[in-house]
Structure formats: structure tokens, C-alpha cells
């Protein structure tokens, strides 16, 4: 009996995917909420806060989740294991708001928006501390009318899907402070996005903007990004890391195909037969690496400088090649060759955290080469991009916040990025976006944000970039939303 | 028509199914949560008592918690890197015991205590509190703060520390905290402390009615009004009620340079 009780995580994991209809999900959540509200206060949510008994601001810089404080980084690197193991290791989040384009409604990524208040995401989080050295951040989500850039594919519309998974083993040795090596944290992670394991918010998975609307992809920023970017390499992966004297960090992970197999739950519901959600098939094991130097904190200041990268060899899916005798709609075209992405990035972060002030800044420059000798996804055999992402923010008293991001990408022209409607010439990815936002933290777990995305360049142009008369600013978007975590 | 009735029935059936799922799911959670889950004894082959970050499930040694949990903010050597987090090296043992107990029973409610320490202390045992106090009080207080050595306010701070401000009813600090600010038993060591931290504590006594409507201790369901207070230091209220902010700054800076 006691054996069974250790594993509620696994039971949840396998029962969730069976919930299919919105109604069922709402009922489930309603039941869950009703149940949770009946608990005494020591068992309140969210999960990690419940486990440590500390407020969100302890781990999140100025309360602007998901951005981490030095202690938040320690909490994650030691495997989410600080505190008291929870009876009910569950929390829920809701994101909803009104997304509108502010300049016409003819931008590429804005098909579903209505300008009305609409739900965007429901998240279910399970995990936290499981054993002394083992914990998890396991997030599942339900996306309402989700779409992605390009206005075409709708990956996980209106169904539950695996979001962030980070199942982590970690240990921490503390020696005499006079020793050269006085502090060693090491661990291993089973996860499902390249970069999800990272603890700095200049890294691909965890950079601002921290939330975007399912109804308008412009709210996420640039229309094109490098392969190693947020929510991009969605594949099962595993790796190990070490953090020496809480200064030198090194990590390596390997990512593999997200198709059928023991790890398929990490990319649920992607499958060969799901026309809306194709698993990404990678050739063999694909490396991701990360090195960083984190300064000691001094009088509330800390900074980090790092490098990271990934090599991804990816198969095309049968649907994109329309080959005969290829298999199910989204099965991989294994005999057609691969597209090879090589991404290398440098990044840095600065934080000043002394209440009531929280000043933080992040930047990342990525250079990418894309090789597609068989022209599976690109019309050129080789392409390249350079991208620069950055953001600065200020939060007062963990209540009032403002941020602005600058994002830019340049690259070679290719049919992959579309063609000019008049000349037929290939477009390029060159785009520039500014994303200012202001927010009000009603409580530590409820935030109202107004976020604006302004494009000064889109697909290589400012005026009539595509030959159809569309200006870059036609893709501008505003989003007013509520983020609630319980 | 028949089809409609059928689909209607099916909807009701599905709804019923969902309700049953939710009901059984909740029951299962209750079973797991209330009766069994936390009673699972530590599995010695998997658990790691010498390097654990567990608080409450089973009794990890205080020294282990000190380096695995507390040190994340207070430093392995008892020196914190953030000016809002107090240095604990060489702090008075009795004082530390009192404060941890006060965080545990939530009687010490300065804002950062509520945000950060209520949760950390809530499941500590008396034995762990004693071990933690032993650990930090026995660390050498040797770090020298040179940041303010040339600050023009030092002289004023020194005067208040040694002589008080008789006309304002401010008693000299060294009458209780010792000639060199090292404290004694339940009177804390204030020498070598971060000025920001000292100022936050003085503020609690200078403005004893300050309160905030906030969520506490990991509970995101029931925000409540917290009056910031340190009842065990109530002696300080009369002492500092007429202290000006400039004088508070001067004292805080002076204390940080004391060795």
C-alpha cells in the first residue's frame, strides 16, 4: 500500500490524457479546486510555494514569474527538493485575456483573435519534491484555440498536452569553505525541451515575453526564430549538469525523436496519426550544451555570462513532403535525409534585487547555420540566421512592473519564409520587434499585464513586405491578460 | 429525432462519467494525501540524510539543513550576499533560538520574515532549532565591512550607539547590545550587520502599526492583513519612536563597520 502512495505523480500523468472534452476538464478542475479549498492552509497552492512555505518572490525576481532569483536557481538546480513533501503535489494556472491587432487585422499570425476576453491556457502542474534527491516540474496544458506563427498549423488546439517536463535528480556537496572546491551541485534531468533545464532567463526557453496569447502569435514576438528558442526543440531529452562553487555551470543533454516509445508521454499528444500535432523526428541523439559563469551575489547585484548551443538533425514529416508510400500523415520521411541545424549562442543576465527594487536585464545572441542539401524544408541547400533577443525590466515592491524587449533576426532569403506575391522572390526572415509591457501584481499569484508588440520590420520589409501590401506594423498586437496561479 | 435523443443521452452519460471520474479522483487523492502519502517512511537506500533538504518529513540534522537550505541565502560561513538578508555568523545562540521559534509560531511578523522565514521554520523541531542556533552562533564573526569606513555619518552613528539621544528618549545601543555590539544571550549581535537589514528591523519598531494585506506562508488562498511586528523586541518601540530616519541610517551604517 505504501509503495502505491509514493507515486501519485505517475497516476496523474496517465489519467490526464484520457480527459478529452472541455467540459470534463472544467469539471475535473472544479472538483479539484473544491477539494483543495477544503484543505487547511498548510496545503494551499501553488505547489512549490506550498512545499517551502515561502512566497513566490523568494524564487521569482520581483515576483515576475518565471524569472528566477539566485535562491530560485538553487531551488531548481537542487531538484525542487527544498521543503516538505506535499500530500497533494498539484497546482493549477489560468491565463486569459483579450488580444487584438492594433493596425488592421491582416497580419499573418492573427487568424483567431476576436479582441474579446477569452481563455488561453489552463495549466496543471504536478511534482515538486518526491525524494531527498529527486523532484519534478511537470506541467500539462490545455490550449484554447492555439495557433502558431504562419497562420497554418494548429498543434494542440483544444486538448490537453504535455508542457514543460523536468524530472530531476540532484545532489549537493558542501565542503570546507577554505577548500578550492567547496561546493558542488550535480544532477541529471529527464526533460522535453532543449533549454528547459536552464536557470537563467537569457536562455532560450525562459526568456521574456513570459506569456503569449493562443489567439495572436505576434504576442510572442518574432515570427521566425532560431531552432534553439522557446518551445522549439520539443523532444524527449536527458542530460547531466554540474555547478561548481555556485559559479561555474556546465550541462549537456541529448534529445531524441518525440514519436512512439517510452518517452512519448513527454510530447503527448503528438503522434504519426494526429494531423494537428506531428512528433518531431530527429536522427539519433542530438546534443545540447550550456556553460555559464555566475558571479557571486554582492550587495544585491549578480550577473551571468554564458554560451550554449545545439546541433539538431531533423527528418521531414510525410505530410510536408507529400511523398507516396511514406506512412501515416505525420510519420517521418526517414529515407529523404535530414535538415541540420547548428545553433551557437552567447547570453548574459544582470539582476539587482534589493526590495523594493528589482532590476533585471537579459540578452542573447544566436548564430545559426541550416543545412538542407535535399531541400526538404528550405529551397536553398544552406541558410543562416543571426538573432538578438533582449529585455530589461523593473518591478517596484513586487507589485508594479514594466519591461521592454528588443528582438531582431536576420537571415538569408528562402522560400521557407514565403514569397513575394508580385515578384515571386523569396522572402527572408529579417524582422524586428519591440515588446513593452506593464503589469500589476494583485496578489503574488495573480498578475494583470498589458503587453504590446510593435514590428518595425517583418519578413524583410517595413512597407509592403510581401507584395500584397502588408506592412510590418499590420502584425502589431496588444494583449491584456490575467495570469492566475493556484 | 432518435439520434438527437441518443446524443443527448450520451452527453448526460459522459457528464455522469466525468463526475464519477472527478469524485473517484478526489477520493483517491484524499486516500493518498490524508492517510498514506506523508506516512511513507524514508527509504534509506534512496534518501540522503547527510545531504538532505527535507524539512518536516523526518528529522534531518540541523547542521545538514544549515548548509543545504539556510546557506542558500545566509551563506555557509554565515555571511549573506544580499543586504536584506542578515549575517548570522557569531550571532547569539539564545537569540537565534527565539527568532526561529517566533517564525515557527508566526509571532515575529516583519515583512521578510513572513515572506521567507515562516515557511522555512514552520516544520522545524525544537532539536533542529537548537542545532541550527548552535551552527550559526559558533561560526566566527570575522568578516570586516569596509564599505562605509569613510562615511560622514559614522560619527553620528557612533554617538547614538554609545550615548543615545537623551533628549529624544533614545537609549544608547551598547547598554543592551554590549560595548562592541556583540549582544548577549537574547540580545542580538548587531555589529557587522547589513545596514539595509538593520533599517528594516528598526522600521518595524519605528512604525509599529504598519500593516499589509498579503498572502503568507505559501498560502495563495487566503490573503490576510499582517501587522508587521517583533513582539520580543517590543522594548525597542519606545526606544526608537523618536528616532529620525537620518539617525537610523547613521546607526545602521555605524553598526555595519563595528567588529
Q: Which three cell numbers stand for residue B189?
A: 549581535
C-beta separation of A444 from A55 below 8 A = yes
Angle between helices B93-104 and B126-137 (to 10 degrees): 140
Calpha distance A413→A395 (Å, rounded): 40
Distance CA(B133)–CA(B141), nearest Å, equals 14
Residue A186, strand partner residues: A171, A242
Residue closest to A89 by CA, chosen among A61, A28, A131, A57: A131
Q: Which of B43, B51, B218 is nearest residue A53 as measured by Cβ atoms?
A: B218
What 8-state DSSP symbol labels residue B107?
-
| pLDDT tier for residue A33 given thresholds of 50, 70 and 90 | low
What residue ranges do the domains of chain B occupy? 49-257
> Nine-digit cell at A108?
499573418
Query: Residue A127: which H helix or E strand, with range?
Result: strand A118-131
Comparing alpha-carbon positions, the chain B residue that sits nearest to A41 is: B219
pLDDT of A245 strictly over 90: yes
- Taking contacts as CB-CB distances below 8 angstroms, the residues of chain B near A37 are 221
A40–chain B Cβ distance below 8 A for any pair: no
* CA neighbor of A252 nearest in space, from A225, A292, A302, A281: A292
CB A61 within 8 A of CB A67: yes
For chain A, say whether B37 makes contact (Cβ under 8 Å).
yes
pLDDT at A15 over 80: no
Rounded-to-integer distance, Cα A405 and Cα A449, Å? 15
Q: Which residue in A57, A172, A299 is closest to B115 by CB distance?
A: A57
Residues of A201-211 as b/e, b for ≥16 C-beta within 10 angstroms? bbbbbbbbbbb
φ/ψ of A287, rounded to 5, equals -80, 145
Nearest to B56 by CA among B39, B44, B71, B72: B39
B136 contacts B63 by C-beta, under 8 angstroms: no
| Contact residues, chain B, for A171 at CB < 8 Å | 48, 51
Q: Give residue A24's pLDDT.
A: 53
In DSSP terms, which residues pair with B186 in a beta bridge? none
Sort B13 into a burial class: Cβ within 10 Å, 0-12 / 13-18 / 19+: exposed
For residues A92 and A83, what is the distance between their CA atoms, to the nearest angstrom?
20
Number of neighbours of residue B155 by Cβ within 10 angstroms: 11
pLDDT of residue A256: 95
Cβ atoms of residues A368 and A227 within 8 Å: yes
φ, ψ of residue A464 in degrees (nearest 5): 45, 60
- DSSP 8-state assignment for residue B2: H
B223 touches chain A (CB under 8 A): yes
The confidence band for A11, taking pLDDT boundaries of 50, 70 and 90, is very low
Which residue's entry shows cell 452527453? B11
Whose CA is closest to A289, among A249, A231, A257, A248?
Answer: A249
Any idea which of A109-113, A165-169, A480-484, B183-187 has the lowest mean pLDDT?
A: A109-113
Cβ-Cβ contacts under 8 Å, A174 against chain B:
51, 67-68, 71, 76
Inter-chain contact A49–B218, Cβ cutoff 8 Å? Answer: yes
Whether B42 has a pLDDT exceeding 70, the answer reads no
Taking the Cβ of residue A78 and every Cβ of chain B, the question of whether any pair is shorter than 8 Å is answered with: yes
Question: A78-97 pLDDT, tens per residue?
Answer: 999 999 988 888 999 999 99
Block residue for cell numbers 517583418: A458
pLDDT above 80 (res A398): yes
Predicted complex ipTM: 0.85
Chain A segment 305-364 residues within 8 A of B by beta carbon are 353-355
Q: Which residue of B has its CA nearest to A485?
A: B220
**pLDDT tier for residue A250 given thresholds of 50, 70 and 90:** very high
Q: Say if B20 is an interface residue toward chain A (CB within 8 Å).
A: no
Strand partners, A129: A135
Q: Kindly tell me if the per-residue pLDDT of A478 is higher than 50.
A: yes
Contact residues for A473 (Cβ-Cβ < 8 A; gap 6+): A103, A454, A455, A456, A462
- Interacting residues of B164 by C-beta distance below 8 A, sequence separation 6+: B170, B171, B172, B173, B175
- The pLDDT, as a whole number, for residue B13 is 47
**Hey, what domains does chain A have and what are their CATH numbers?**
2-485 (2.40.160.10)
Q: Do A486 and B221 touch (CB under 8 A)?
A: yes
- Is residue B30 less than 8 Å (CB to CB) from chain A? yes
Evaluate whether A151 touches A107 at the Cβ level (below 8 Å). Answer: no
Predicted pLDDT at A310: 98
Contact A88 B33 (CB under 8 A): yes
Cell 560619527 -> residue: B155
Q: What is the mean pLDDT of chain B?
A: 85
| Residue B229 exposure: Cα atoms within 13 Å on the Cβ side | 13
Average of per-residue pLDDT values in chain A: 86
Predicted local distance difference test score (pLDDT) of residue B5:
44
Element (H, E) at A477: strand A477-485
pLDDT of residue A111: 57
Q: Among residues 397-456 of chain A, which lie with CB inside 8 Å of chain B?
A: 443-445
Q: Picking from A164-173, A215-224, A381-390, B44-53, which range would have the lowest pLDDT averaged per residue? A: B44-53
CA distance A317 to chain B (A): 35
Q: Which of B201, B197, B186, B180 is nearest to B110 (CA)?
A: B201
* List of residues 6+ apart from B35 with CB closer than 8 A: none
Q: What's the grid cell of residue A28?
A: 475535473
pLDDT higher than 50, residue B30: no
Q: Summarize the confidence of residues B105-130 as an average pLDDT.
A: 95
Count residue pairs from A and B with Cβ separation < 8 A. Answer: 200
- Separation in Å, CA A380 to CA A133, A226, A227, A411, A430: 48, 17, 17, 12, 16
How far apart are the CA of A471 and the nearest CA of chain B, in angstroms?
A: 45
Q: How far apart are CA A285 and CA A237, in angstroms?
A: 9
- Minimal CA separation from A33 to chain B, in Å: 10
Angstroms from A233 CA to nearest CA on chain B: 32
Which tens digit of pLDDT belongs to each residue from A254-311? Answer: 999 987 788 999 999 888 877 777 788 999 999 999 999 999 999 899 999 999 999 9
The mean per-residue pLDDT over the stretch A32-53 comes to 61
Spatial neighbors of B112 by CB under 8 A, at least 6 apart, are: A355, B84, B200
Please check whether the domain covering B49-257 is classified as CATH 1.10.760.10.
yes
pLDDT at site B209: 92
- Residue numbers in A near B52 (CB within 8 A): 132
Phi first, then psi: give them for residue A144, nearest 5 degrees. -90, 115
Whether the bond between A269 and the residue before it is cis, its omega within 30 degrees of 0, is yes
**pLDDT tier, A20 (very low <50, low <70, confident <90, very high otherwise):** very low
Longest CA–CA separation in chain B, Å: 95
Residues of A in contact with B79 (CB under 8 A): none
CA distance B55 to chain A (A): 5
Which tens digit of pLDDT belongs to each residue from A454-467?
999 999 999 999 99
What lies within 8 Å, CB to CB, of A12 at 6+ separation is A90, A126
Amino acid at each position: 500500500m505504501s509503495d502505491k502512495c509514493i507515486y501519485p505523480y505517475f497516476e496523474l500523468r496517465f489519467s490526464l490524457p484520457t480527459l478529452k472534452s472541455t467540459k470534463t476538464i472544467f469539471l475535473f478542475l472544479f472538483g479539484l479546486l473544491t477539494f483543495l479549498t477544503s484543505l487547511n492552509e498548510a496545503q494551499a497552492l501553488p505547489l512549490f510555494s506550498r512545499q517551502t512555505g515561502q512566497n513566490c518572490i523568494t524564487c521569482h525576481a520581483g515576483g515576475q514569474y518565471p524569472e528566477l532569483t539566485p535562491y530560485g536557481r538553487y531551488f531548481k538546480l537542487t531538484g525542487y527538493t527544498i521543503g516538505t513533501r506535499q500530500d497533494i503535489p498539484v497546482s493549477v494556472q489560468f491565463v486569459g485575456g483579450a488580444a487584438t491587432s492594433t493596425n488592421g487585422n491582416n497580419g499573418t499570425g492573427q487568424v483567431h483573435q476576436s479582441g474579446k476576453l477569452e481563455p488561453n491556457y489552463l495549466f496543471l502542474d504536478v511534482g515538486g519534491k518526491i525524494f531527498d534527491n529527486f523532484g519534478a516540474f511537470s506541467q500539462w496544458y490545455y490550449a484554447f484555440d492555439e495557433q502558431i506563427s504562419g497562420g497554418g498549423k494548429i498543434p494542440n488546439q483544444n486538448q490537453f498536452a504535455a508542457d514543460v517536463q523536468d524530472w530531476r535528480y540532484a545532489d549537493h556537496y558542501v565542503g570546507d569553505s577554505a577548500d578550492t572546491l567547496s561546493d558542488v551541485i550535480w544532477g541529471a534531468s529527464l526533460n522535453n525541451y532543449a533549454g528547459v533545464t536552464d536557470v537563467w532567463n537569457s536562455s532560450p526557453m525562459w526568456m521574456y515575453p513570459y506569456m503569449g496569447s493562443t489567439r495572436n502569435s505576434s504576442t510572442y514576438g518574432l515570427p521566425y526564430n532560431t531552432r534553439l528558442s522557446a518551445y522549439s526543440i520539443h523532444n524527449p531529452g536527458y542530460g547531466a549538469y554540474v555547478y561548481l562553487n555556485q559559479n561555474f555551470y556546465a550541462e549537456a543533454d541529448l534529445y531524441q525523436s518525440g514519436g512512439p516509445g517510452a518517452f512519448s508521454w513527454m510530447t503527448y499528444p503528438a503522434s504519426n496519426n494526429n494531423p494537428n500535432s506531428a512528433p518531431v523526428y530527429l536522427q539519433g541523439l542530438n546534443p545540447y550544451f550550456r556553460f555559464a559563469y555566475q558571479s557571486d551575489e554582492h550587495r544585491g547585484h549578480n550577473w551571468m555570462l554564458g554560451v550554449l548551443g545545439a546541433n539538431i538533425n531533423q527528418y521531414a514529416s510525410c505530410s510536408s513532403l507529400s511523398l507516396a508510400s511514406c506512412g501515416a500523415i505525420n510519420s517521418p520521411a526517414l529515407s529523404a535525409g535530414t535538415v541540420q541545424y547548428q545553433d551557437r549562442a552567447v547570453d548574459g543576465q544582470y539582476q539587482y534585487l534589493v526590495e523594493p527594487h528589482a532590476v533585471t536585464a537579459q540578452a542573447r545572441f544566436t548564430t545559426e547555420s541550416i543545412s538542407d542539401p535535399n531541400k526538404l524544408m528550405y529551397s536553398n541547400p544552406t541558410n543562416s540566421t543571426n538573432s538578438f533577443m533582449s529585455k530589461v525590466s523593473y518591478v517596484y515592491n513586487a507589485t508594479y512592473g514594466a519591461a521592454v524587449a528588443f528582438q531582431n533576426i536576420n537571415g538569408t532569403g528562402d522560400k521557407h519564409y514565403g514569397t513575394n506575391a508580385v515578384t515571386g522572390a523569396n522572402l527572408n526572415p529579417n524582422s524586428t520587434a519591440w515588446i513593452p509591457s506593464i503589469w500589476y501584481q494583485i496578489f503574488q499569484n495573480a498578475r494583470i499585464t498589458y503587453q504590446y508588440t510593435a514590428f518595425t520590420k517583418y519578413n524583410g520589409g517595413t512597407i509592403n513586405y510581401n507584395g500584397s501590401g502588408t506592412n510590418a506594423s499590420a502584425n502589431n498586437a496588444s494583449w491584456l491578460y490575467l495570469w492566475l496561479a493556484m | 429525432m432518435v439520434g438527437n435523443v441518443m446524443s443527448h443521452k450520451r452527453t448526460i452519460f459522459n457528464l455522469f462519467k466525468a463526475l464519477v471520474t472527478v469524485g473517484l479522483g478526489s477520493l483517491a487523492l484524499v486516500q493518498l494525501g490524508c492517510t498514506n502519502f506523508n506516512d511513507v517512511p524514508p527509504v534509506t537506500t534512496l534518501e540522503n540524510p547527510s545531504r538532505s533538504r527535507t524539512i518536516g518529513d523526518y528529522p534531518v540534522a540541523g547542521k545538514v539543513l544549515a548548509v543545504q537550505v539556510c546557506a542558500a541565502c545566509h551563506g555557509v560561513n554565515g555571511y549573506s550576499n544580499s543586504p536584506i538578508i542578515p549575517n548570522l555568523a557569531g550571532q547569539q545562540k539564545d537569540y537565534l533560538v527565539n527568532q526561529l521559534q517566533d517564525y515557527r509560531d508566526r509571532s515575529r511578523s516583519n515583512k521578510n520574515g513572513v515572506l521567507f522565514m515562516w515557511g522555512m521554520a514552520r516544520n522545524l523541531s525544537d532539536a533542529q532549532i537548537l542545532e541550527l542556533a548552535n551552527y550559526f552562533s559558533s561560526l566566527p564573526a570575522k568578516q570586516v565591512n569596509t564599505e562605509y569606513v569613510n562615511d560622514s555619518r559614522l560619527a553620528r552613528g557612533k554617538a547614538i550607539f554609545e550615548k543615545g539621544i537623551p533628549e529624544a528618549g533614545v537609549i544608547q545601543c551598547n547598554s543592551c547590545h554590549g560595548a562592541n555590539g556583540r549582544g548577549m544571550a537574547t540580545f542580538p549581535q548587531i555589529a557587522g550587520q547589513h545596514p539595509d537589514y538593520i533599517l528594516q528591523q528598526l522600521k518595524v519598531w519605528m512604525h509599529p502599526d504598519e500593516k499589509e494585506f498579503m498572502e503568507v506562508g505559501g498560502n495563495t488562498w487566503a490573503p490576510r492583513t499582517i501587522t508587521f511586528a517583533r513582539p520580543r523586541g517590543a522594548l525597542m518601540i519606545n526606544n526608537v519612536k523618536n528616532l529620525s530616519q537620518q539617525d537610523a541610517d547613521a546607526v545602521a551604517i555605524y553598526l555595519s563597520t563595528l567588529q
